[in-house]
A and B are shown apart, each in its own frame.
Chain A
Amino acid sequence: MAESKAIESLLQWPADLLDRIVALLSKVGIDLAPLWLQLFLLVLVLALLVPVVKRVRARKKKDRLPLVAAAVLALVSVGVIIGIAENWTTPGRVAGSVAFERPADVRVALLDFRDMTISTGSGQVDSSSGRFALHYSPLMDGRARKLRISAAGCKPLDAALGRAQLRAASEGLWNYQCVTG
């Protein structure tokens, strides 16, 4: 159990690093979808890897770069590929039910790590059962981090969405109560 958690957290770092870069870029006005940044990084790292490998294997000792430089670049490219694969295989559907006194007024949305809406559609829930199904593109927008539940005149509720929860694609139940202010 502890081992699988360790592996999971190890696999998590490329995604976390990517999130930080995306956040940093958006702060300076460059709003990129995570996928474009991942592809850009991959191309960049692979382009760097070729001359670095050549210099690692250079004949003259003074031209040689330490092996660790190539290893780092290789690791970064593997990390980016893992990140893309991870998002590619994450289901793009999040479904569940919201328990609320006025289901007709409820709206749901998926948020990314910057709290920006990434789900499409109106976000309405079934007014008789409270069921909803949201769709988004994990490959393009990255993994959904939160489910936002809102209703007119009420404070929105943000519920965290775990990686395992998204992968299991199980339908959750969220209780929502109207809190004003």
Chain B
Amino acid sequence: MRHWLAALALGALVAIPARAQTITGTVRAAEPLGGVTVLVEVNSRRLTTVTTDSNGKFSFALAPGTGRSADVLISFTREGFVPATRLDTPENAAARPLSIVLLPRTGEGAISDDIKKVLGPAVTHVGTGPLMFVPYRLPADAAIGSVGELNQRLRVQLQRLILTHVQLSLPDADARDIVLVQLNVEANDLERLRTYGEFVNALAMVSGLGIADGGTQTIELASSFVIIPRAQQFEPPILTIVDTVPVAGIGRVALDQRMSKEWGRATVIALAVRDLRAAQSLAGSQKRAALEKTQRFLVAELSDDGANDQLSARKLQQLLGQVRRELGQ
């Protein structure tokens, strides 16, 4: 009799269909975030894709019979945010609602507390920020001696080149604005570079990376110059130079030829955007005087043959046009 009962109980257990586990959660940034794509894979096979509602909530069911030790990978993506991914077992994932925080790709929210601590001492008042130099990512295996030493040489060289150019256009420029202060942070992409620059109120961010060619003892340098201040109806450019320079001559002629004028002109644009923005917040004769000063040095920069770079020349023209419109010309 007992055996029959046991068999009956076992049969009943088998007959009950396995219940599908439901996984729920909320995605937030500063507030609940709607429109986040939630992609679910179980044991590396795509199960489903759902989207969070306006309250940031999502929900999906695993297939009945999904093993207890299955790998559930849930990825959360939305334009403008750093994606997040969670890997868990069905049991753990279903035990309680998941709480996911997506960091914005730009803005203060994109900077972690650790990086904020590093950037803290470099923060200046708006409109007084110097140029910032994020050390170039250079190959450690090239025959270049110490990477730190090479970065230092690059920084000094760039500072000298930019300063010389700017002083020709703006004899009364404050040299403190053109000091390249080194920021010891990792910034692999331009978006991040801009985010850091906005946080510290920099005039511009200079960074780059180097790829070594061991055979010929040269380095291919990709240098970026990101102008930080923005003004109404003017989007500052991001300038990039890719150059192959001999390792031994990294501080000499090869860089001089292109960077002195292009980076110098970019710095003039950065100063002009900053001053235009400051002038826009003034009124009456003060505003006019500030705008006329900006116009003067933009005209001076344009009268110089300048850099043979179409983008910076076009931006310079565009900026001058904006200043003239503000002056009612």
Interface set of A (CB-CB < 8 Å, partner B): 93, 95, 101-104, 119-122, 124-129, 131-136, 153, 178-181
Chain A residues, Cβ within 8 Å of B238 = none
Assess whether B87 is in contact with A135, with CB atoms less than 8 Å apart.
Answer: no
Assess whether A122 is in contact with B84, with CB atoms less than 8 Å apart.
Answer: no
Looking at the assembled complex, report how far the CB atom of A149 sits from the nearest CB atom of chain B, in whole angstroms.
Answer: 15
Assess whether A124 is in contact with B209, with CB atoms less than 8 Å apart.
Answer: no
Assess whether A121 is in contact with B41, with CB atoms less than 8 Å apart.
Answer: yes
Nearest 9 CB-CB pairs, A to B? A121-B44, A133-B71, A181-B211, A135-B44, A126-B87, A120-B44, A124-B85, A127-B85, A127-B84
Interface set of B (CB-CB < 8 Å, partner A): 39, 41, 43-46, 71, 73, 75, 82-87, 137, 139, 186, 188-189, 209, 211-212
The B interface, classified by DSSP as helix, strand, loop or mixed, is strand
Assess whether B83 is in contact with A104, with CB atoms less than 8 Å apart.
Answer: yes
Q: Given that A101-B186, A153-B188 are known contacts, is A126 also in contact with B85, CB under 8 Å in the complex?
A: yes
The chain B residue with its CB closest to the CB of A178 is B188
Assess whether B139 is in contact with A181, with CB atoms less than 8 Å apart.
Answer: yes
Task: For B137, give its contact among A125, A133, A180 (CB under 8 Å).
Answer: A180
Assess whether B45 is in contact with A120, with CB atoms less than 8 Å apart.
Answer: yes
Assess whether B45 is in contact with A122, with CB atoms less than 8 Å apart.
Answer: no
Looking at the assembled complex, report how far the CB atom of B243 sits from the nearest CB atom of chain A, in whole angstroms.
Answer: 15
- Complexed CA–CA distance, A135 and B43 (Å): 6
Chain A residues, Cβ within 8 Å of B86 = 126-128
Q: Given that A121-B45, A122-B39, A124-B75 are known contacts, is A180 also in contact with B209, CB under 8 Å in the complex?
A: yes
The chain A residue with its CB closest to the CB of B213 is A181
Chain A residues, Cβ within 8 Å of B71 = 93, 95, 133, 135
List, sorted by A's number, 19 A–B pairs whose CB atoms are closer than 8 Å: A93-B71, A95-B71, A104-B82, A120-B44, A122-B44, A124-B73, A124-B75, A124-B85, A127-B83, A128-B84, A131-B87, A133-B87, A135-B43, A135-B44, A135-B45, A153-B189, A180-B137, A180-B139, A181-B139
Looking at the assembled complex, report how far the CB atom of A140 sits from the nearest CB atom of chain B, in whole angstroms.
Answer: 14
Chain A residues, Cβ within 8 Å of B39 = 122
- Complexed CA–CA distance, A135 and B45 (Å): 9
Task: For B212, give its contact among A95, A126, A127, A181 (CB under 8 Å).
Answer: A181
- Complexed CA–CA distance, A180 and B44 (Å): 29
- Complexed CA–CA distance, A95 and B43 (Å): 11
Q: Given that A126-B85, A126-B86, A131-B87 are known contacts, is A121 also in contact with B73, CB under 8 Å in the complex?
A: yes
Assess whether B211 is in contact with A180, with CB atoms less than 8 Å apart.
Answer: yes
